[in-house]
Structure 1
Amino acid sequence: MVIFFDFVKRLLLAIAYSLGLKKRPRTLTKEEQWRARGVVIGKNFHAYDSAIDYCFGFLVTIGDNVTLSGTTILAHDASAKKAIGYSKVGAVKIGDNVFLGYGCIVLPNVTIGNKVIVGAGTVVSKDIPDNVVVVGNPYRILSTYDDYIAKQKQRMETLPVYNISFEDKTRELQAKEKEEVQACGGGFDL
């Protein structure tokens, strides 16, 4: 009987929504959900397909101009919980002007400095200083952030640069870009 009343309730709500008699509740964005759980997030933040520790988000601070790309940020480690009854916890601080590449995992008790690029798949288990590009597990420093950006700007002078966003590209433009990028060994896109 309860199942029947639940069905009727859902049916009446669907009718009310479709007729405009009742507004659908607004779903919070991922960023709003993280903020509601206590994550401190700066300005100009972007996250794509990423996760921040659900229970201990309040231990995570993210600066301005940060991009997460398929990144996981953990502020706890439950490896010993069954044995000792507690999870280890640690704050995570991410500075300003940081890019975390796809598949990065940031472990508890880590600080990532300002002007940092973390390569795809990197496991961040110790602090990263300011102004570096890091990759690997354990990570290694490839260059300074400033040198990396200067090199990319220099490469833009010789490689193709595309100024049409991906959602606006026709199949023909995509095919042309693919051909050019393969022929040149890379390029730059919005």
Structure 2
Amino acid sequence: MIEKIFWGLRALLYAPFFGKFGMPSYLGKPVFLKGIRNVFIGNKVRILPNLRMETQDGGTIHIQDDVIISQNVHLTSAGNLIIGKSSLILANVFITNIDHGYSEIGVHVVKQKITVKETRIGENCFIGMGAAIMAGTILGKQCVVGANSVVRGNFPDYCVIVGSPAKIVKKYNPETHVWEKIKERN
């Protein structure tokens, strides 16, 4: 409990440097922050320690209300990255909207052109421990991403996504009110 008081005080100290920092939000001791003037944090956002968050080339990060971000999370954006309200992101997760080029032989990857693709996490999503949400991923409402999944692509509302590469294994059926397994295609 006492650490959360310090995290709240830290949020007050850091708030003027962000594009927006809603209250009452708190911020555990970050490990790295870059370009946070382009980071917009909603109300009641809880960020645990060791966050790495960076924007570049005018990119933005929008974390909507009532989001929880666990420890050791890395968020990076050169475009518009959105994390929907009431989402939970567990530890050791990576979320980006940037792909590094690699086509030029003999040129270091960090010196090659980057590609930016919209990345958006819908509201009330659950991102499991160790997941990687890659550039160009759009998650609908209340998607569940399994631990250690590597996710890229568009996923509809109310689905469970697992694996590397990730695929839908369950979807919510609004008629039966049951999360149903998806039959594998051969």
TM-score class, shorter-chain normalisation, is 0.5 to 0.7
Identify the residue that residue 130 of structure 2 maps to in structure 1.
103
- Give the distance between the partners of 1:63 and 1:95, measured in 2 at CA: 5
Counterpart of 1:67 (choices 81, 88, 93) is: 88
> What is the correspondence of 1:135-174 to structure 2 with a 5 Å cutoff?
135-145=162-172, 147-148=178-179
Amino acid at match of 1:140: K
Identify the residue that residue 93 of structure 1 maps to in structure 2.
120
Identify the residue that residue 78 of structure 1 maps to in structure 2.
100
Give structure 1 regions of 4+ aligned residues with deviation exceeding 6 angstroms. Answer: none
- Give the distance between the partners of 2:145 and 2:164, measured in 1 at CA: 11
Counterpart of 1:35 (choices 36, 40, 63) is: 40
More strand by share: 2
DSSP 3-state at the match of 1:39? strand
> How much has 1:123 moved relative to structure 2?
0.4
Give the alignment's TM-score, normalised by structure 2.
0.57
> How much has 1:144 moved relative to structure 2?
2.1
Give the alignment's TM-score, normalised by structure 1.
0.56
**For this pair of structures, how many residues does the alignment match?**
123
- Give the distance between the partners of 1:65 and 1:109, measured in 2 at CA: 21
- 5+ residue gaps, structure 2, are 1-11, 16-26, 42-54, 180-186
Listed one character per residue, the Cα deviations across residues 102-144 of structure 1 (whole Å, up to 9, x for unaligned) are 0010111110111110010000011111111111112232222
More helix by share: 1
> How much has 1:27 moved relative to structure 2?
4.4
- Judge conservation of contact 2:161–2:169 (CA < 8 Å) in 1: yes
How much identity, in percent, do the aligned residues show?
21
| TM-align CA RMSD | 3.0
Amino acid at match of 1:40: H
- 5+ residue gaps, structure 1, are 1-24, 149-190
> How much has 1:94 moved relative to structure 2?
0.9
- Give the distance between the partners of 1:47 and 1:147, measured in 2 at CA: 28
2:118 is aligned with 1:118: no
2:13 is aligned with 1:26: yes
Identify the residue that residue 3 of structure 2 maps to in structure 1.
none
Q: Which has the larger radius of gyration?
A: 1
